[in-house]
Structure 1
């Protein structure tokens, strides 16, 4: 019988949230619906070791969404999360992980225990079971300063993905707010997840379907001051997910990919590109999206993320995806794919705005 997982949360806001060590069996992740279990694909997996949005007619009621998020995530607080080690003592993760047989998602829980918990991401979004909000107007989702031109945009190879960061003038950094998020969330970075071929690549699935590319737009809670500090908080991050279909050439994306040859290896120096507005690459939206509470999709897999998944696919060409597959991992192998299989919902609620 599996051991019970005990969560200890002290009443004082300054007290840490400590997760005790448990055995490997409890932390073993589930991969329901994953294509990696299918014949043939498993062999390839094993062998590669490595604008501001104006108020619209259809919006969220604040109380409804606040109750929804609180019921899943718990009341927002400044409680600090302490990572458990095998002995139950706090530890600092090494940061080393991959997508192969020896270091891939099925092994992450061994060094990163959060990767085996019950509110993990990504998930397969079942629209028929998603909960819909009431249709009366109360509060909206706002994209602020997405039309502000940054002073600098930088592209780098993180060893796990292609990453875009930026700098803005004071007060001009893009943020997202509304949706009963209890404050503003500031833009931190954009990164991508793709597959070995055009039939896979996204981390989230919709109705059992996987997309060839997924873009994550990561935001940290502004009041916490930084991305790293927000990683310690239960309401620390909001990630906006954009899914892509194969189609015509994506011109905003090409501005990033044109320098991919200069950052092939993780040790390659970061490259500045000509600045452009975020809303050109990541258009704001107010309809046809899903919301749920989950985790980072890479170690340490902390369950601190409110996910907003845009259900209106963007477009990318096959040639552009090939540029991504030409990148190298930290381990020295090609970055042919870098997506985590979907995780069990485990009773969580997904809300959809049609």
Structure 2
């Protein structure tokens, strides 16, 4: 049974943890850790924190929030605990859209160019929508879990291959595309943070309004229809929320895997609640996970850095294996 009493406490705990990681993110960099209270006496260090570390840290939280929200929407919409932007092919579609946009503009986007950032987000959104629709077409709907996952993997591979062919054909943007496809928060500036903040606010608002649909779908297709919910129109709206959240994150930080898969599962393991709370908590959990991964990426081989997308793929893949192993054991029992 859902228990919404613990949900606000969990949200406060996630906010407090994000605040703590935010302070660590402002203090830790390639030059080591500084005492934040000494920054007032060092203008250069303060400029590094203000213009590089703070937007990177805030951007990691916003991108993780978008991916966590996208994962929760995907799992509720398709009634599949393994659904996420990566496995459904929407992340690959968003990546292809960004690759096409980067090819059109001829290089990496400028940090302060609002128009370019919005253009990349629009291209990623269009690519994500096309990928989800293609996955659903190949899977003949969302009823068959195995077929849906296989279709998502196939779509992701095909669109990824198309992106690779584009990369080979356009050598001028090769370096920008390679950095982008590995997943990286190092190039996130305040402009990218602004774009992601607006996208996250819009997606959270829309998802909150559509949460009753996901609650109805959790009870079954027939039950949701008997409640009088306009399922076709609301499914389209949920796909739009999923695609916008995925596209906004991918356009600013590149391909970052498994955050959208892990965040809703971690929330469900802590609290049983309705989708109204689950969607918001998954966004906060996703932000916390990506902030932690970003800190690890800076610290593990300092003064060099790991691409955060590589780190989340390793950690998220391990989490997926553990999750599948638990389900196999419980099914065998």
Normalised-by-shorter TM-score class: under 0.3
Q: Which has the larger share of helix?
A: 2
TM-score (normalised: structure 2): 0.27
